[in-house]
Amino acid sequence: MTQSRTHNCNELRLADAGKQVTLVGWFENIRKVSKNLGFVILRDFYGTTQIVIETEEMMAVIDSVNKESTISVTGEVRERSSKNTELPTGEIEVVPTKIEILGKCTHNELPFEINRSKEADENTRLKYRYLDLRNPDVKSKIILRSKIVAELRASMIAHDFMEITTPILTCSSPEGARDYLVPARNHPGKFYALPQAPQQFKQILMASGFDRYFQIAPCFRDEDARADRSPGEFYQLDMEMAFASQEDVFAVIEDVLPPIFAKYGVYNTASTAPFVRIPYLESMDKYGSDKPDLRIDLVLQDATEVMADCGFGPFEGNVVKAIVVDNLTATRKQIDAMIAEVEVATAQKTYWFKLDENGEIVGGIAKFLQERKQAVIDALGLKPGDFVGLAAGPLLVAQKTAGVFRKLLGAAAEGHMKKDCYEFCWIVDFPMYEIGEESGELEFCHNPFSMPQGGMDALKNQEPLDILAYQYDLVCNGVELSSGAIRNHDPEIMIEAFKLVGLGEDDVKAKFPAMYNAFTYGAPPHGGIAPGVDRMIMLIAGEESIREIIPFPMNKNAQDIMMDAPATVEQKQLDDVHIAIVMPKED
C-alpha cells in the first residue's frame, strides 16, 4: 500500500481485529443513530468498509463535510456485532481515533445517487462522468476492459506478433467514412487526417520485412453513433501477417478470442475452432443478413413461386421470403408489435399467417392463400401450429427485411435461440464490387485493398459483379466484430482493380503513393483483420450500449459534454493554421 494508508477498503478481515489501521476513500453515506453514534460507509477503488462513529468529536468531523468528500480514517479494527455476509469486509468495522479531511465535496446535492447513477439521464451521466465512474457497477466495466485489453495483448505476443504503433497524424485515405482533418500550420491550405484505420501503414510494414504486426489501434471516423458504434474514435485489435493465407488469419483469431470470451464473458461458452464459414450470398439467402446470429436456428425459405399470383398486391412481381416458426405463442398484439419493429428498422412491411391445429390457414393474409392451401403447406413444409412470417420486395430488400423479422421471431419463440453462449462465424467470399446505392455506379464492396479471387484473370475476364474477393467478416451473436482481407500486394493487379471503378494508374499512385511504391520493390502476400475492441467488450460484458464500456464516451451527437467538446477556439488559433470559419446559412 501507499504511505497514506495501511490497507484498502476491501482488505480487512476478522483476522485483522485489534490492528491499528489507516484507510482512505470517499465518504459514501452515514446512518446516524444519535449525536455520538453513527455508521459511516467508506469507499475506495477496491471496496467499502464500515466506520463506527462513537464520539461527539468524530461526529463533528463527519458533520462538517458533505458526502463524496475524501477522508483519511485511522483507528482500530474490531469484530462487528451485526455482520453483513454479503460484503467481503462485513465481519469487521473500524473505530476511528482520527479522521482527516483530504478533499471536500462542496456540493450539498449530487446530480444523482452514486450507486444508482445508471438510472440517471444519459447526458447527465456523461456530464458528470467522474461521479458516474464512482459507481462500482460502472467502474467494473472499465476494469473489465483493462483486463481484456491486457489479455489480448499478451495472447498476440504469445503468437509471435510484434506490437508496433503507427502514426496518428497522416494523410486522408478513402476508407469509407468521413475523415477528421487537422490543419497543418506550416503548410497553409494542407491538412493531416486522423487515421480511420492503420491500413496502409500495416501493409507497408509487411512490405518492410516485418512478419507479424499488431497494435491496440485508435481509429477516428466522423460518423453517427449507434448502440454498437461510438462516434469519433474507437479501438481495434489491428493485426497483419506476411506470407499468410486466409486460413492463417482465421487460425490466429480462432485461437485468441474464444478463451477470452469464455473467461470474461457473461456467458462462459464460446465457439471453438474452426468457426463456421458461410459464403456471403448464402448468408443473405439463409439468414437475410451478412452478420447472422447463429444462436437462432431459423432460416429463410423462398416462397416466391408458391405466392405468385395469389392476389396479394405486395407480392406481385417481387421476391417473397418466408420464416417458418413452431412454438410461437405470441398474441396478435405481440405479432403486430414485431411487425411494427421490423418496419421501423427497415422501412418495409412484413406479413404473416398461421396453420392452425386443424390444418387451416388463418390470420394475417390467410384469405389470399385459401385456394392454394396445400401447395403452400407442401412448399414450406408446414405442420399444424406453425407460424409463417413473410417479407417481399426486390431480392436484397426481401432478404434484409426477412432477416430482421427472423431475429425477432427467434427471440420470441420457445426453443429457437440459444441464450447463454457466444456463437462465432466467418462470412467469406464477399463480392469484390457492388453498385453504389447513392452513385448508381460500380464501387468497391468492402475496401480497395483486397485481392480478387482469380487475380488478374478474374478482373479481365469476369463480369465485375461476379468477381469474389478474399474478404471476410468476423461475426459474433449477430454483431459484426471485424472486416479483414488477404491484400492485393501486386501493383499490376491493383491498377487493374481500380480501373473497373474508373480510376487509372495515376489515380492509384496519387492516392496511395507510399504503399504502391513499396509494393513495386517486392511485397509478400499478406493479410489481416482488426476486431473492434469496444464491440468485443460490449458483447463480453453483456451491455446493450457501447458507451457503457468506454471510460469517457461521447454522446449520440458526438459531443463530449464533460469537456465541452467540440468547442469554439480563439481567432488567433484559427489564424495560425490559416482557417476561416464560414457558418452555414440559416433557412
The dihedrals phi and psi of 55, each to the nearest 5 degrees, come to -135, 155
Q: Give the residue from 449, 533, 448, 558 showing the smallest Cα distance to 219.
A: 533
* pLDDT beyond 50 at 373: yes
Q: Is the pLDDT of residue 397 over 50?
A: yes
Tell me how many degrees the CA angle 287-288-289 measures, rounded to the nearest 5: 90
* CATH superfamily to which 14-103 belongs: Nucleic acid-binding proteins (2.40.50.140)
Look at residue 529 in the predicted model and tell me its pLDDT. Answer: 97
Rounded to whole angstroms, the Cα distance separating 346 from 405 reads 10
Q: What does the pLDDT read at residue 445?
A: 87
CATH fold label, 296-412: Gyrase A; domain 2 (3.30.1360)
The helix (H) or strand (E) run that includes residue 124 is helix 122-127
Helices (H), 288-331: 304-307
Mean pLDDT of the residues in the chain: 94
Three-state SS string across 563-579, please? CCECCCCCHHHHHHCCC
Band of the pLDDT at 288, cuts 50, 70, 90?
Answer: very high
CATH 3.30.930.10 in the chain: give the residue spans: 138-252+448-497+513-572
**DSSP letter for each residue of 39-62:** EEEEE-SS-EEEEEE-SHHHHHHH
Q: Taking 80 as the threshold, does the pLDDT of residue 175 lie above it?
A: no
What is the C-alpha to C-alpha distance for residues 577 and 463, in angstroms, rounded to an integer? 48
Comma-separated ranges of CATH 3.30.1360.30 domains in the chain: 296-412
DSSP code, position 5: -
Q: Is the pLDDT of residue 173 over 80?
A: no
**Cβ-proximal residues to 411 (8 Å cutoff; 6+ apart), any chain:** 296, 417
Backbone angles phi, psi at 241, to 5 degrees: -130, 135
Q: What residues does CATH 2.40.50.140 cover in the chain? A: 14-103
pLDDT at 174 over 70: no
Question: For the segment 308-338, what is each residue's pLDDT rounded down to a tens digit?
Answer: 999 999 999 999 999 999 989 899 999 999 9
The CA-based dihedral angle spanning residues 357, 362, 366, 372, taken in that order and rounded to the nearest 10 degrees:
30
Query: What distance in Å separates the CA atoms of residue 118 and residue 134, rounded to the nearest whole number?
Result: 11
What cell numbers appear for 122 in the block? 444519459
Q: Which of 20, 83, 19, 18 is nearest to 50 (CA)?
A: 83
CB 472 within 8 A of CB 483: yes
Grid cell at residue 169: 497524424
* Nearest CA among 220, 238, 236 for reference residue 554: 220
Q: Which CATH number fits domain 138-252+448-497+513-572: 2.40.30.30, 1.10.569.10, 2.60.120.1440, 3.30.930.10?
A: 3.30.930.10
DSSP letter at 447 equals -
117-132 tens-digit pLDDT: 999 999 999 999 999 9
- Predicted confidence at residue 74, as pLDDT, reads 97
How many other C-beta atoms can be found within 10 angstroms of the C-beta atom of residue 527? 28
| pLDDT tens-place string over residues 418-451 | 989 999 999 999 999 999 878 889 999 878 889 9
